[in-house]
A and B are shown apart, each in its own frame.
Chain A
Amino acid sequence: MLSSVEIKKYNQTSVFAYSIILPSIAFILIFMFIPLLYSISIAFQEYKFGVPTGKIIWFRNFVDIFIKGTVAPGFYEALLVTLKFTVAAVIAVVIISLGIALLIKDRFFTSNWIKYALLLPYAIPGVVSAVIWSWIYHPSFGVLSGALYKLGLIKEYLTITADPNIALWAILFAYVWKFVPYSTFLFSAGLTTIPSSVYEAAQMDRSGPVKTFFKITLPLLMPLLQMVLVMQTIFALVMHFGLVFVLTQGGPGSSTRTLAWLVYMESFTYTRFGRGAAMAIILALIMLGFIYLYLVVLSPERQLKRKQAKLAKKREGRYAFQHDFK
């Protein structure tokens, strides 16, 4: 129990604290929360041609999305595209960035130069990079086709963004280019928390590079890895928008029509704001699910509890290695 003096101090501090942070909270409330709430109300209304008809149709927008989903523009189709892209993007970004971080670990000279190079895609705004890639992918004059042509690998210039089979992967290639630097920086910093003597001990324990990675590096990086996985998932669900807008506009066909793009289409192409808002809410809920994962499940307290439970289990078995050894 706090003494009355302490309680008074606490209240005083609270008043002071809020006086400072109130403007920031105000910005966030006004520009984020109010639109969000409004968005929810829109989702329950009917909009025709961009104008509300004044009818409140409650969940019909949602029902339409889920039931009429098979009719174009398809919700489930978009879900599939989103899933494909997100899984591929997260795996690609994590593997590549972790790989680079491992490569430059302990090599100060190379490490700095590669990091400076990685800063460039990071600093270039997403849309600008989209424009750059659209030029690279250009069906008539694009340099990607040009390089392959010169190397003799292809006879004719590729139509990249117009090919339904390749378009999504072209976006992936450009997406990875932009998002690898950030993860690489994180992993690089994380690797420095493992003392080099642990690696030396592993080396003397006859652990080759592959084994050391899986048995030592990876387990020790696990908390960071989990955080990066979740963050990259959140990014991948939304941040590809600029690329799709500039490169493919959801096409060809519906091969790059992700959920994020679907929201845009519903709202601004079909002006069915009601449905668009509903879809936006669904997307936001999916994101919130991941935020929950990120903030709660991965929180330090949770991790500690899991660790202790794991140990209690191990103590029952006489030797740990019987579970470990494969």
Chain B
Amino acid sequence: MAYLQLKNITKKFPGCLAVDNLSLDIEEGEFLVLLGPSGCGKTTTLRIVAGLEIQTKGNVILDGVDVSNVPPERRNIAMVFQNLALYPHMTVFDNIAFCLKNMRTPLSEIENKVQEVSKKLEIDHLLNRLPDQLSGGQQQRVALARALVRSPKVFLLDEPLASLDAKLRTAMRSEFKLLHKSLVEEAGRVSGTFIYVTHDQVEALVLGTRIAVLNKGKIEQIDTPSNLYRNPRNIFTATFVGSPEMNLIEGSLQRVDDAVVFNFGKLSVETGLKGKIILGKARAETMPVILGIRPEFVHPVSLETNGAIRGEIITIEPIGTMNLTIFKVDRLVLTSLISPDLPLKVGENVGLQLKPEAMHLFHPQTEENLMREK
């Protein structure tokens, strides 16, 4: 049985259905990321696990015990809030020790534990300061320390990096990863089970051992980061994960001899598929699909190359190691990631090749990925 189980969780607010029959199993030691756009129900789900919101239907089972009706403080769960919620009038030491004091732990033990945790997070020199005398990153760590000191079964984190500036965010991201790793490797009391909520897919891909993509209160897909990236189950997941966004082209598949081509507008590209696999069952000669291909698999080639389609460069945006190049193809717009070494200029016409192995085909109505390995 999984360490933490969410069974058929539904949460209705007056006027909106925040969580829709969501079920999720989480193993001990996992770093599970709840990823999704604003309002998709990820924070609500987190709060239901915490006990700060009560689900309309469903159960939360932690370590074999149904905690659905158990108050938050008795669930042995720690939470780091989006705005950190440090007690502004207490020193860092008191902030961290507050929980232990409430549990009536003896003084010496409190001292030890707080020292231990603050050393681990490198804030032991800040113990006498007040929260408003700390930098954003330091405050972040105090919030973590406050959670850590309780040796909880699960850590819940609600967009902890949202209020930090970009540079700090990247730094703290790595720290989170290291912290998780150290907790998992440490034998003993503290379980390193993390549930992390964010809308930033880069964070999710970097941090998560598994990612649950949520949309409108439902889970679209739960998978490892690389699987999520390479095998998105539907258009939502495909476009939400990965930056820059995947290119989507409406068109249809057609069998030409033994191969299958994808027609869109007046253009046609090879898909590298064997005709039988996709179209085998269908009687029709053509099948409408939506083709998805990530920008890094749109290659510029010379116009004469066989199978290339013609594109006119609209803009070139340098984003560091690559250039984000936007092409006008027929009546469409395609995005491509191209090495800055290539001497391309705006307005030029270039040939584009879509790498067949990286193509995803989505059903036009259900938006499911037709090629996904089940």
Q: Do chains A and B touch in the complex (CB under 8 A)?
A: yes
A residues at B contact (CB < 8 Å): 195, 197-198, 200-208, 211, 215-216, 219-220, 311, 314-315, 319-321, 324-325
Bits for B34-70, please: 1 = Cβ < 8 Å to A, else 0.
0000000000000000101000000000000000000
Nearest neighbor of B129 in chain A, beta-carbon distance: A311
What is the CA–CA distance of A320 and B98 in the complex, to the nearest angstrom? Answer: 12
Asked whether A207 and B102 contact (CB < 8 A) given A197-B85, A200-B52, A319-B93, the answer is yes
Shortest Cβ distance from residue A49 to the other chain B in the assembled complex, whole angstroms: 60
What is the CA–CA distance of A201 and B86 in the complex, to the nearest angstrom? Answer: 8
What is the CA–CA distance of A325 and B114 in the complex, to the nearest angstrom? Answer: 15
Q: Which of B87, B99, B128, B146 meets A320, CB within 8 Å?
A: B128
Asked whether, in the complex, the Cβ of A195 is within 8 Å of the Cβ of B83, the reply is yes
A-B pairs, top 9 by smallest CB distance, nearest first, are A205-B99, A197-B85, A201-B85, A206-B73, A206-B102, A197-B81, A320-B91, A219-B89, A198-B85
Asked whether, in the complex, the Cβ of A324 is within 8 Å of the Cβ of B94, the reply is yes
Say whether B172 faces chain A, with CB atoms less than 8 Å apart. Answer: no
Residues of A within 8 A of B111 (CB): 319, 321
Asked whether, in the complex, the Cβ of B93 is within 8 Å of the Cβ of A204, the reply is no
Asked whether A320 and B89 contact (CB < 8 A) given A200-B52, A204-B50, A325-B107, the answer is no
Say whether B177 faces chain A, with CB atoms less than 8 Å apart. Answer: no
**Total count of chain B residues near the partner, CB < 8 A:** 33
Shortest Cβ distance from residue A95 to the other chain B in the assembled complex, whole angstroms: 22
Asked whether, in the complex, the Cβ of A211 is within 8 Å of the Cβ of B72, the reply is no
Other A-B pairs, 14, CB within 8 Å; known A197-B82, A201-B85, A201-B146: A200-B79, A200-B81, A201-B86, A204-B50, A204-B72, A204-B73, A204-B78, A205-B99, A206-B99, A206-B103, A319-B127, A321-B93, A321-B97, A325-B107
Say whether B101 faces chain A, with CB atoms less than 8 Å apart. Answer: yes
Residues of A within 8 A of B94 (CB): 320-321, 324
Bits for B251-279, please: 1 = Cβ < 8 Å to A, else 0.
00000000000000000000000000000
Say whether B77 faces chain A, with CB atoms less than 8 Å apart. Answer: yes
Asked whether, in the complex, the Cβ of A204 is within 8 Å of the Cβ of B79, the reply is yes
Task: Enumerate 11 A-B pairs (CB-CB under 8 Å) in ascending A order.
Answer: A195-B83, A195-B85, A200-B52, A204-B72, A204-B79, A204-B99, A205-B150, A215-B98, A315-B128, A320-B93, A321-B107
Asked whether, in the complex, the Cβ of A207 is within 8 Å of the Cβ of B128, the reply is no
Residues of B within 8 A of A321 (CB): 93-94, 97, 101, 107, 110-111
Asked whether, in the complex, the Cβ of B88 is within 8 Å of the Cβ of A325, the reply is no
Prevailing SS type, chain A contact patch: helix
Say whether B370 faces chain A, with CB atoms less than 8 Å apart. Answer: no
Nearest neighbor of A316 in chain B, beta-carbon distance: B128
What is the CA–CA distance of A311 and B132 in the complex, to the nearest angstrom? Answer: 13
Say whether B358 faces chain A, with CB atoms less than 8 Å apart. Answer: no
What is the CA–CA distance of A191 and B127 in the complex, to the nearest angstrom? Answer: 28
Q: From A198, A208, A314, A320, name the one whose CB has the most chain B CB atoms within 10 angstroms.
A: A320
Residues of A within 8 A of B86 (CB): 201
Nearest neighbor of A197 in chain B, beta-carbon distance: B85
Nearest neighbor of B79 in chain A, beta-carbon distance: A204
Shortest Cβ distance from residue B301 to the other chain A in the assembled complex, whole angstroms: 54
Residues of B149-196 whose CB lies within 8 A of A: 150
Asked whether A200 and B101 contact (CB < 8 A) given A314-B91, A319-B93, A319-B127, the answer is no
Shortest Cβ distance from residue A237 to the other chain B in the assembled complex, whole angstroms: 31
What is the CA–CA distance of A200 and B130 in the complex, to the nearest angstrom? Answer: 20
What is the CA–CA distance of A205 and B78 in the complex, to the nearest angstrom? Answer: 8
Nearest neighbor of A326 in chain B, beta-carbon distance: B101
What is the CA–CA distance of A215 and B88 in the complex, to the nearest angstrom? Answer: 11
What is the CA–CA distance of A197 and B158 in the complex, to the nearest angstrom? Answer: 11
Shortest Cβ distance from residue A240 to the other chain B in the assembled complex, whole angstroms: 35
Residues of A within 8 A of B98 (CB): 202, 205, 207, 215
Residues of A within 8 A of B91 (CB): 314, 320
Asked whether, in the complex, the Cβ of A216 is within 8 Å of the Cβ of B101, the reply is no
What is the CA–CA distance of A208 and B98 in the complex, to the nearest angstrom? Answer: 12
Nearest neighbor of B97 in chain A, beta-carbon distance: A321
What is the CA–CA distance of A207 and B85 in the complex, to the nearest angstrom? Answer: 14
Residues of A within 8 A of B50 (CB): 204
Residues of B102-151 whose CB lies within 8 A of A: 102-103, 107, 110-111, 127-128, 130, 146, 150
What is the CA–CA distance of A320 and B94 in the complex, to the nearest angstrom? Answer: 7
Asked whether, in the complex, the Cβ of B101 is within 8 Å of the Cβ of A325, the reply is yes
Residues of B within 8 A of A205 (CB): 73, 98-99, 102, 146, 150
Residues of B within 8 A of A201 (CB): 79, 81, 85-87, 146
Residues of A within 8 A of B77 (CB): 204
Asked whether, in the complex, the Cβ of A220 is within 8 Å of the Cβ of B88, the reply is yes
What is the CA–CA distance of A297 and B58 in the complex, to the nearest angstrom? Answer: 55
Nearest neighbor of A196 in chain B, beta-carbon distance: B85
Asked whether A216 and B87 contact (CB < 8 A) given A197-B81, A204-B72, the answer is yes
Shortest Cβ distance from residue A196 to the other chain B in the assembled complex, whole angstroms: 9
What is the CA–CA distance of A244 and B219 in the complex, to the nearest angstrom? Answer: 69
What is the CA–CA distance of A63 and B332 in the complex, to the nearest angstrom? Answer: 98
Asked whether, in the complex, the Cβ of B128 is within 8 Å of the Cβ of A211, the reply is no
Residues of B within 8 A of A319 (CB): 93, 111, 127-128
Asked whether A197 and B101 contact (CB < 8 A) given A203-B73, A204-B77, the answer is no
What is the CA–CA distance of A136 and B71 in the complex, to the nearest angstrom? Answer: 47
Nearest neighbor of A201 in chain B, beta-carbon distance: B85
Shortest Cβ distance from residue A146 to the other chain B in the assembled complex, whole angstroms: 44
Q: From A201, A219, A220, A320, name the one whose CB has the most chain B CB atoms within 10 angstroms.
A: A201
Residues of A within 8 A of B83 (CB): 195, 197
What is the CA–CA distance of A205 and B103 in the complex, to the nearest angstrom? Answer: 9
Shortest Cβ distance from residue A289 to the other chain B in the assembled complex, whole angstroms: 29
What is the CA–CA distance of A30 and B287 in the complex, to the nearest angstrom? Answer: 92
Shortest Cβ distance from residue B44 to the other chain A in the assembled complex, whole angstroms: 14
Nearest neighbor of B89 in chain A, beta-carbon distance: A219
Shortest Cβ distance from residue B95 to the other chain A in the assembled complex, whole angstroms: 9
What is the CA–CA distance of A58 and B99 in the complex, to the nearest angstrom? Answer: 65
What is the CA–CA distance of A196 and B98 in the complex, to the nearest angstrom? Answer: 17
